[in-house]
Structure 1
Amino acid sequence: MKRIQGVDIRLARREPYRLPDEMNEQTLIDLPPETIANAIVTDGTQANAGEAERPQGTDTAITVYLPRSWPWRSLRGARLTIDGTDYWVHGDPHPVRTNLTPTGYWPVGVQASTRKA
């Protein structure tokens, strides 16, 4: 029996800087990219989702399932690089809290596209 094998992807996240700027707004800073091993990358068109499920649009390019070994942090405004192509994360996905498989192993489903959200 073969096991599901993931791929390595690069994740570049953004976080608010500690102090607000002169307009009292948080400034986002780019964090150094990190490599995430064993991520599952699928075609985003496999789901029958409409505009209500995807407020940024209905043309999601990919869905990536991040492994449980990756310590979850906010993905709002994050960029994924897969095989040299940049994808921007839609929304701020959170881990699925269930013991069902495959989500028991890949609990964070991330929708992303080449169009900056």
Structure 2
Amino acid sequence: MSEIIAEQTIAWLRDLASKGGKGVVNNIDARCLARIADEITRLTELNNKLTEDFNTLARDRVQWQDLAKGYSDLWRKTAGKFCEAQDALAGLRSALDSGPPTSTQVEASETSLHSSDIAAAA
């Protein structure tokens, strides 16, 4: 709507300026009217460019927020896996510190492995 009004105003000012030549139209310098029309045109174009840039920045911001959320989720998952790996290493160190496993420990570990294979197959 404002673009239509600006276009109509510019056309009106240019029409007045052309009627006046280098003289005066209704006590206003005709060259001044042309300069005003030029300035309105320039400012309208600038407004359109700024609006387009703002919309581009808004879209980019949404994309950056999506990326940041994705990286945050990935970081949480990685941190969780890192903690699991640390726990596994601590368990391994503990097992190594306690010496070689007894036959009862070996049987218990084979049984738990076998039952986890069955659960995984189901």
Higher strand share: 1
Q: TM-score range by the shorter chain?
A: under 0.3
> TM-score, normalization: structure 2?
0.16
> TM-score, normalization: structure 1?
0.16
Higher helix share: 2
**Larger relative contact order, structure 1 or 2 (CA cutoff 8 Å, min sep 6):** 1
Which structure has the larger Rg over C-alpha atoms? Answer: 2
